[in-house]
Chain A
Amino acid sequence: MDMEKISNEGIEEETIEVVKNLTSAYEAGFETKIETEYAPKGLSEEIVELISKKNDEPAWMLEWRLNAYRRWLKLKQPNWAKLNLDPIDYQDIYYYAKPESMKVKPKSLDEVDPKLLETYEKLGIPLKEQKILAGVEDTTVNGQRKIAVDAVFDSVSIGTTFREELEEAGVIFCPISEAIKRYPELVKKYLGTVIPQTDNYFASLNSAVFSDGSFVYVPKGVRCPMELSTYFRINAENTGQFERTLIIADEGSYVSYLEGCTAPKRDENQLHAAVVELVILDNAEIKYSTVQNWYPGDEKGKGGIYNFVTKRANCRGVNSKVMWTQVETGSAITWKYPSCILRGDNSSGEFYSIAITNNMQQADTGTKMIHLGKNTRSRIVSKGISAGRSQNTYRGQVSVHPKSIKSRNFTQCDSLLIGDQCGAHTVPYIDIGNNSSKVEHEATTSKIDEEKLFYCMSRGLTEEESTALVVNGFCKEVLQYLPMEFAMEAQKLVAISLEGSVG
């Protein structure tokens, strides 16, 4: 075994170190003190128009938003999830908040308010493009792989790195507010085609008021030369964040995309309602990874983000492929089901999930695999960990259309309970329309094994370190699907999220 391998694998140990060094469990809970420009509180057609105007949008976009808004007015907030929350006052939220310093759009990151840049630095998000030597093809910087970042702060993107380098490869990676103006044909062609404005309550809301987010187009036959990522930061008080992401992988292309998110500690709940649409054409592939670390609220359940997110991939092309990987550690409420529509023949969808709830957190999360094409394949691996007095629900649907012959699904759903005041629930919906397809579902629920904890402690690990180690072992199968940098981050988060769950 070589040394590098060990240092890469030495993650458990670092996990533990992080836990020990932390004075407060949620390290992203700081607030950036800046002047912020708000739209008036509440939601109305005027607000939708204002957001559209702020983004200097064409008329068709405003029309699209207003249609969504009118639809939303007719809908009721869904209540089928196993979530217990106070009614949300949609008129008591700011729908648009932008740092004053972003009033005049900076031409480059160098012109961005240092306080904003500092925020990302504090969060460990690299916003500097390292110099590339002429003629030397280099996909790493100081041994680290290059990652292009779109940094979204409250309602606006403050900048996107490596754009020129990506453009040379033909890849478009920019804020969606900009894509609407610069690439209207692409946006018109795909926006809302995976998740229509009418899809559900929160998708309609998002369609009406989304302010920014990321847009990615990978042209035919192009393998995106680096990882793309978006980092979402909520900073402003009483403000909702409504971002929209649209990724199109054209025929034979490949892209790996990561997203991360955090928010300051506050006693009030804040709403986050995002929409992510993925379009995958013939022989193309998208890997989409999320490390969700919104503020989870305090141990008594005060504060925290209400996270209502609609994510869906449409595998339109033959042999198209999508992989969702998510690590959900944050938010007071998580309502999220990244799904795959397997329309193209031989297309495949995978969903790997770790959902950790501690204290008073509630998560209702899972996926939908909709098999439409022939010989389509899907795989679901879900690991739920509940601690404290939290509730953790896996909700998943596997549906095989009569014409989707010879399709397969495998679902594995494991729940781990820490303590005796939390809950784990598994709600599968299975619907098979033909005889040639095969669907398998395995589920386990177990309490954290005291023998394992004692064994670890008998080797010198503290109780908390032992718990983190055992839980990381439990999650390993999913963690391995994350890009390396994220896997490290995720392992640390796993440990941090469980702080105070033992003893």
Chain B
Amino acid sequence: MLKINDLKVKIDDGAEILKGLSLEISKGEIHAIMGPNGSGKSTTSNVLAGKPGYEVTNGSIQFLGEDFNQLTPDERVVQGLFLAFQYPVEIQGVTNTNFLRTSINSVLKARGEGKMSPGEFLTKLKTKANELGISSDMLKRSVNFGFSGGEKKRNEILQMAMLEPKLAILDETDSGLDIDALKVVSSGVNSLRSTERSFLVITHYQRLLNYILPDFVHIMVQGKIVKSGAADLALYVEKNGYSEFLS
């Protein structure tokens, strides 16, 4: 589904952050990228989502056979990508419900499909919001505006649940969550697991991976993956730290 090959990325001021990243994710798999601060984890998710300010100098990103690097962020969403932000952005004056509806209908339209009817939309929204403990008050408020850290993260998962992506990237979704919120968010993610949907979980700590069990764990250091393994690699890192991977 996703194939990243020897990817090198510079930020606009010239520093190279990704230094030859390669990663392949197949349908239905859950991959986790772990790594110390500054290893390029968030850059990876930003580059995959198409955030401006990065320059790909080498390598390729292919998603379902298409060259992703040529696409704008919205076009990538239309192809089936979703990024849950580490720091979700507040948009004042736009209600959460409207934002979701605009988002879904924009994507459907770009795919050449018809709009979702208000009835279908509301039923789906209500169900998904309930599962994530999101109150109708939160749906009426401006997007993420005045939300607590936990509310923002749950809201990201709600958007994901509504958009039903093929590949979801969770960027440090566990940061700033207490254990109860972490459980809610994880069960939200787990309910979306399917043989058709893949996940890339980016995290600093192993804790999240107790709840979202990955098929593969990759250790990222200084802009590339230095070790890959199964779920128990995360436990090993949790116990021994990253120091042995730092050269």
Please list the residues of chain A having a beta carbon within 8 angstroms of any beta carbon in chain B.
1, 3, 6-7, 9-13, 16, 20, 449-452, 454-463, 465-466, 469-470, 472-477
Contact = CB atoms under 8 A, between A and B. Distances in A.
A415 B101 CA distance: 28
B88 A473 contact: no
Nearest to B144: A455
A460 B140 contact: no
B93 A473 contact: yes
A457 B139 contact: no
Given A450-B52, A455-B85, A461 B103 contact: yes
B144 to A, nearest CB: 9
Interface residues of B, number: 41
B15 interface: no
Interface string B67-93: 000001110011000110100110111
A118 to B, nearest CB: 31
A459 B51 contact: no
Interface in B108-155: 109-110, 118-119, 121-122, 136, 139-140, 142
Contacts of B49: 454, 458
Contacts of A463: 72, 74
A455 B88 contact: yes
A125 to B, nearest CB: 27
A451 B121 CA distance: 27
Interface in B160-187: 163
Contacts of B73: 454, 457-458
- Does more than half of chain B's interface fall in helix, strand or loop, or is it mixed? helix
A457 B159 CA distance: 13
Interface hub of A13, A455, A460 (most chain B Cβ within 10 A) = A460
B102 interface: yes
B230 interface: no
A474 B142 CA distance: 11
A10 B101 contact: yes
Nearest to A11: B98
A476 B92 CA distance: 8
A459 B163 contact: yes
Contacts of B122: 1, 3, 6
Contact of A460 (B51, B93, B95, B107): B107
B39 interface: no
- Does more than half of chain A's interface fall in helix, strand or loop, or is it mixed? helix
A325 B23 CA distance: 55
A473 B49 CA distance: 24
Nearest to A469: B94
B112 to A, nearest CB: 13
A382 B230 CA distance: 58
Contact of A465 (B88, B95, B106, B119): B106
Interface hub of B88, B89, B92 (most chain A Cβ within 10 A) = B89
A364 B173 CA distance: 46
Given A10-B101, A469-B102, A3 B93 contact: no
B99 interface: yes
B105 interface: yes
B54 to A, nearest CB: 12
A472 B74 contact: no
A462 B93 CA distance: 19
18 contacts: A3-B119, A3-B122, A9-B95, A12-B94, A12-B99, A12-B102, A13-B102, A13-B105, A456-B91, A458-B83, A461-B106, A462-B72, A462-B106, A466-B74, A469-B91, A473-B92, A473-B94, A475-B93
B159 A13 contact: no
Contact of A455 (B52, B89, B93, B104): B89
B106 A16 contact: yes
B97 interface: yes
Given A455-B89, A460-B74, A465-B74, 14 more contacts: A13-B98, A13-B101, A452-B91, A454-B52, A458-B74, A458-B77, A462-B72, A462-B106, A469-B94, A470-B91, A472-B93, A472-B94, A474-B93, A475-B93
Nearest to A7: B118
B140 A459 contact: no
A460 B98 CA distance: 14
A6 B105 contact: no
Contacts of A456: 91
A469 B102 CA distance: 9
Nearest to A455: B89
A448 to B, nearest CB: 12
A457 B85 CA distance: 13
Contacts of A451: 89
